[in-house]
Copies of this chain bind each other. A is one copy, B any other.
Amino acid sequence: MTELSGRTNVDEVINREETVWGPFAEAVRQLVDACVTSAAEDDAVRDALGDVRSALSRIGETRHEKTFGLTYGPVGRRRQWGNPVIGLRNPIAPPLLPEFAHETRSVTSDFHCGPAYEGPPGLVHGGIVSLILDQMLGHAANAAPPRAMTGTLTVVYHRGTPLGDLRAEAWLEREQGLKKWARGRVIGPDGVTAEAEGVFITPRDARSRRADVTGR
């Protein structure tokens, strides 16, 4: 009974943190977007800078000593909150919300890339495409133990990926010994824009540990 309520309390704390930090990160995402698209007058930007500094003074003074990755175990719900692709608390992340099909060890996610992700005119930066594919292939590789990290990632760009609504898919192709091979792709309104293959390797120190089923 004590353990159960202990677990419940942890969940309550995490749920409360989510309702506080989720909307904040989302507002900062909108601010990032405004930063690259705004046509505001200089004075408005200077006033907005005052607002941002005010926000910083409110939340910037007390910091966690360690990152989410170093604080929470691999299966902790908070572990991924700082992740730059899927992180609830990371305004850099679009974010993606990967959906797993454990029976096929595959993962999919619809997502949106606005102007802050632009590389060539009107297109998603090729490196952002590779960032998203690395994350998705990592999910596919780590849907089951042992945990593995990217060894080699190869991305083939078939055409430009337009800014806007997109989809990413990845799946585990095969595994042998300490290596796993995963594949994936990004799909735009006109079809597949880029494909990736990744070789994932289980680091020596993780070979006896539980796999990171929530990702990378």
Contacts and interface: CB of A to CB of B under 8 A. Distances in A.
B36 A52 contact: no
A56 B42 contact: no
- Summarize A's interface: helix, strand, loop or mixed: helix
A16 B41 CA distance: 11
B126 A138 contact: yes
Nearest to A70: B121
B116 A90 contact: yes
Interface residues on A, range: 35 or more
Given A60-B34, A82-B36, A127 B116 contact: no
Nearest to A122: B70
A121 B119 CA distance: 28
Contact of A58 (B35, B51, B127, B133): B51
Given A115-B82, A120-B69, A44 B58 contact: yes
Contacts of A89: 35-36
A68 B149 CA distance: 35
B42 A24 contact: no
A210 B107 CA distance: 41
B35 A84 contact: no
Interface string A14-26: 0010001101110
A33 to B, nearest CB: 8
A127 B125 contact: no
A132 interface: yes
A110 interface: no
Interface of A: 16, 20-21, 23-25, 27-28, 30-32, 34-40, 42, 44-49, 51-56, 58-64, 67-70, 81-85, 87, 89-92, 115-123, 125-128, 130-135, 138, 149-157, 160, 163, 216
Given A36-B82, A38-B60, A130-B153, 13 more contacts: A20-B45, A32-B91, A34-B63, A36-B87, A36-B90, A39-B62, A48-B54, A48-B55, A69-B119, A83-B118, A126-B138, A127-B130, A128-B131
